[in-house]
Chains A and B, each alone.
Chain A
């Protein structure tokens, strides 16, 4: 084994650790930010007891979740029940592996790309992983052997599969314009201007589908509190519930990053270093989602399906045709 190879492994592990730490901390503090912002939108104060301004609240929540009793319902399918949350959390975290978080660094004459892995099919990996995330929900809810979980799962799977389609279709124009499936190339293609100016429709479709995909209000039918208690994770407690929760907020961060990568120019931005810009853009997307959560009520099931199949999917398809035609005209 050459020194080169060992150095590569060490670098990879450092990058993995840094990305994972940022992601998990980001997700934890996003929960706090969401609670704070929602509270202020409802003229409340929000969590302010743990530490100054409630800044230790995520830590306190983490300790609470880890020390709580881990219950398994008597009739649950034990093995599936136990491992479903891991699917949910792992797929969420894995998506971040293909997100570029900065220009390549040059250290000691070596070029270090600031992305964990630059897959040439990065976009497909993203879509594939987000589809796999459905399994976490489906298996977890099914294995719980509870009516609320089952209803939540039926809704959740229907919703996530429906919106998977428009999510994928909304990204086709991006691929056509960037000419690559690699997220690094897509960011590089936006060096001059972000794609949101060229593809506002695509952005809107992506944003809406992404929100439905991560089951956030107003698309939170799978866990509608007032109808289904907590939907697919009704029977979960302790760390396993924490994993579902973590997965949800990690996906929120990841989707912020993906929105930034696909439409907002990724880490590109004037004056500041790339990572700061990316974080800023993630925060902006997250704020948008929190704002929407603070404003809109939940969809009805049929409205949700109508919007997905009769509006977003055709819109994305038309958008693809128009983009293709425009590209063809511009080329000639």
Chain B
């Protein structure tokens, strides 16, 4: 009725139509199939990069990737990661023990971003509820998996971290040392 240019009959008709079309819509929806996916029966395939439970991956040779650098533990905003670094006889660093408190973890993924060796990764698996909160304390054995996670080919120790065994230029991605004599003018 705000619009005075309109005849009353038209505004009444429009108002009634607007009201009734809403009712028709809800009635039509009443007989539609619900779009709900009931959760425990229907499990949606989550995207690969969904951030949930954390794993510790292995490199292609089957060794642990983790070098116990404490970067994940340092970046963790809720301090849920703790570990003790150790060194193997061949000079390779690893975590003597590694513990994640999933009761505290907020699944922010900072640890994964901080990790220099792709060792710590988040997976889409999220169904970890426990009635006893202490069961959410995951030790290294619980976290370690037998695969490389999102990248199966990467091997940190091929690139860095151990003393070079071969000659100069034999390393992955390393160029042959140039002979300085050939550079002379």
Within 8 A of A (CB), among B20-46: 22-23, 25-27, 29-30, 32-36, 38
Query: In chain B, what residue has the closest Cβ to A48?
Result: B38
Q: Decide: A37 and B30 in contact? CB cutoff 8 A.
A: yes
Q: Which of B23, B34, B38 contacts A295 (CB 8 A)?
A: B23
Shortest beta-carbon contacts, A-B, top 10:
A45-B36, A41-B26, A295-B26, A294-B26, A45-B34, A295-B22, A41-B29, A40-B30, A43-B35, A44-B36
The CA of A45 and the CA of B35, in the complex, are separated in Å by 8
Q: Decide: B29 and A43 in contact? CB cutoff 8 A.
A: yes
Query: In chain A, what residue has the closest Cβ to B38?
Result: A45
User: Please, could you name 16 A-B residue pairs with CB atoms under 8 Å apart, sorted by A?
Assistant: A37-B30, A39-B34, A40-B29, A41-B26, A41-B27, A43-B29, A43-B32, A43-B34, A44-B35, A45-B34, A45-B36, A48-B38, A291-B26, A292-B23, A294-B26, A296-B22
The range of chain B's interface size is 10 to 19
Contacts of A48 in B (CB 8 A): 38
A307 smallest CB distance to B (angstroms): 13
- Determine if A42 is an interface residue (Cβ-Cβ < 8 Å): yes
Q: Which of B27, B33, B36 contacts A291 (CB 8 A)?
A: B27
B143 smallest CB distance to A (angstroms): 33
One digit per residue, 1 when the CB lies within 8 angstroms of any chain A CB and 0 when it does not, for chain B 1-33 equals 000000000000000000000110111011011
B160 smallest CB distance to A (angstroms): 54
Q: Decide: B27 and A40 in contact? CB cutoff 8 A.
A: no
Spell out B's residues near A (CB within 8 Å): 22-23, 25-27, 29-30, 32-36, 38
- How many A-B pairs have beta carbons closer than 8 Å: the answer is 34
The CA of A37 and the CA of B27, in the complex, are separated in Å by 10
Contacts of B29 in A (CB 8 A): 40-43
A310 smallest CB distance to B (angstroms): 13
Q: Decide: A44 and B22 in contact? CB cutoff 8 A.
A: no
Within 8 A of B (CB), among A273-315: 291-292, 294-296
Query: In chain A, what residue has the closest Cβ to B32?
Result: A43
Contacts of B32 in A (CB 8 A): 40, 43
The CA of A141 and the CA of B26, in the complex, are separated in Å by 34
A54 smallest CB distance to B (angstroms): 12
Contacts of B30 in A (CB 8 A): 37, 40-41
The CA of A48 and the CA of B22, in the complex, are separated in Å by 27
Spell out A's residues near B (CB within 8 Å): 37, 39-45, 48, 291-292, 294-296
Contacts of B35 in A (CB 8 A): 43-44
Contacts of A37 in B (CB 8 A): 30
B28 smallest CB distance to A (angstroms): 9
Contacts of B33 in A (CB 8 A): 43
Contacts of A296 in B (CB 8 A): 22
A291 smallest CB distance to B (angstroms): 6
The CA of A45 and the CA of B36, in the complex, are separated in Å by 6
The CA of A198 and the CA of B32, in the complex, are separated in Å by 36
The CA of A294 and the CA of B35, in the complex, are separated in Å by 17
Q: Decide: A291 and B34 in contact? CB cutoff 8 A.
A: no
Q: Which of A42, A45, A291 contacts B23 (CB 8 A)?
A: A291
Contacts of A292 in B (CB 8 A): 23
Known: A291-B26, A295-B26. 5 other contacts (CB 8 A): A39-B34, A41-B29, A43-B34, A44-B36, A295-B25
Query: In chain A, what residue has the closest Cβ to B25?
Result: A295
Query: In chain A, what residue has the closest Cβ to B21?
Result: A295
A297 smallest CB distance to B (angstroms): 9
The CA of A39 and the CA of B35, in the complex, are separated in Å by 11
Q: Which of B22, B25, B34, B38 contacts A40 (CB 8 A)?
A: B34
Contacts of A41 in B (CB 8 A): 26-27, 29-30
Contacts of A291 in B (CB 8 A): 23, 26-27
Contacts of B36 in A (CB 8 A): 43-45
| Residue in B29, B32, B38 whose Cβ sees the most chain A Cβ within 10 Å | B29
Query: In chain B, what residue has the closest Cβ to A296?
Result: B22
The CA of A39 and the CA of B34, in the complex, are separated in Å by 8
| Residue in B26, B27, B35 whose Cβ sees the most chain A Cβ within 10 Å | B26
The CA of A66 and the CA of B30, in the complex, are separated in Å by 33
The CA of A256 and the CA of B152, in the complex, are separated in Å by 67
Contacts of A42 in B (CB 8 A): 29
Contacts of A45 in B (CB 8 A): 34, 36, 38
The CA of A39 and the CA of B32, in the complex, are separated in Å by 11
Query: In chain B, what residue has the closest Cβ to A49?
Result: B38
A42 smallest CB distance to B (angstroms): 7
Query: In chain A, what residue has the closest Cβ to B27?
Result: A291
A118 smallest CB distance to B (angstroms): 38
A308 smallest CB distance to B (angstroms): 18
B22 smallest CB distance to A (angstroms): 5
A285 smallest CB distance to B (angstroms): 16
Q: Decide: A44 and B27 in contact? CB cutoff 8 A.
A: no
| Residue in A42, A291, A292, A295 whose Cβ sees the most chain B Cβ within 10 Å | A295
